[in-house]
Structure 1
Amino acid sequence: MKYLVIHCTATPEGREVSSAEIRRWHTSPPPAGRGWKQVGYTDLFHLDGRVERLVKNNEDAQVDPWEMTNGASGYNSVSRHIVYVGGCDRQMKPKDTRTAAQREALKRYVQDFHGRFPQIRIVGHHDLNPGKACPSFDVAAWLREIGIRQ
């Protein structure tokens, strides 16, 4: 694994998203979904800070075929993808909408992940796919705020 990639659901501020919704978005055939075999993220950070596992993994530094998610084309075989609910304002423009509970849960998750795998680069989706706003905040600046130097 080379990357931990942070995403947002690109949904309006304050609107909860279920794992079932994300699965539909990703795995339903077009035009209702993307037609992927697997959901795009390993873990989902709900508005209340709960972290829900969407794809099982063995918590090692390898991305086994059964663990691979579809978060960023060209990077999926070497990345773990995580997502927080939100990322847009009410007009669907990019905005950092992380709640205090999401910020805390994401901080704990990322610090733990970095402690276990310090060699893995932590990035936002936009860092791998320029032109995208996702995850609607500056991941590098946030990492410095929480004490992670890469």
Structure 2
Amino acid sequence: MAKLQYLVIHCTATPEGREVSAADIRRWHTSPIPTGRGWRQVGYTDLFHLDGSVERLVDNNEDGNVDPWEITNGAAGYNSVSRHIVYAGGCDASMRPKDTRTEAQKEALKKYVLDFHAKHPDVRIVGHNQLAAKACPSFDVPQWLQEIGIKA
């Protein structure tokens, strides 16, 4: 068990307007190589659907620790101290990075992050691209956090 240090925001890197299911993510992450990544666990705790609904992918006790059964595979080197969340989208039709969050996703993500921050004010909220050379989550998380009233 480790102290929770990061909330990492991701995108599924799928085209704008395309819904993603929990089954899709499980297949992408846990299917054996070469069809999947061969991971033991999916990469995210929660999935934000296009309609703003939030689906729990991995159980979490919501405390300030990351228990072994809560670890998801979102960012190499950070998984044991992080919670990872993901929104469906993040690419344009040509698969280039684009902030494709629907208004419903933006509202749901804002509510989730504000609630999370109220419970865990010392946990750093970041985009995946702040921990690795990635475009994910295809928007500027520090700027967005300032817009919703959280100092990044």
TM-score of the two chains, using structure 2 as the length reference: 0.97
TM-score of the two chains, using structure 1 as the length reference: 0.99
For residues 102-123 of structure 1, the C-alpha deviation after alignment (integer angstroms, 9 at most, x for no partner) is 0000000000000000000000
Q: Look up the SS of the partner of 1:6 in the other structure.
A: strand
Aligned pairs (5 A) from 1:1-150: 1-129=4-132, 131-150=133-152
Task: Provide the rounded CA distance (Å) in 1 between the counterparts of 2:62 and 2:20.
Answer: 25
Deviation at residue 45 of structure 1 after TM alignment:
0.1
Task: Provide the rounded CA distance (Å) in 2 between the counterparts of 1:12 and 1:58.
Answer: 32
- In the alignment, structure 2 segments of 5+ residues that lack a partner are none
For residues 112-141 of structure 1, the C-alpha deviation after alignment (integer angstroms, 9 at most, x for no partner) is 000000000000000000x20000000000
**RMSD across aligned positions (CA):** 0.4
Residue identity (%):
77
- In the alignment, structure 1 segments of 5+ residues that lack a partner are none
Deviation at residue 149 of structure 1 after TM alignment:
1.1
Aligned length: 149
Q: Which runs of 4+ in 1 moved over 6 A?
A: none
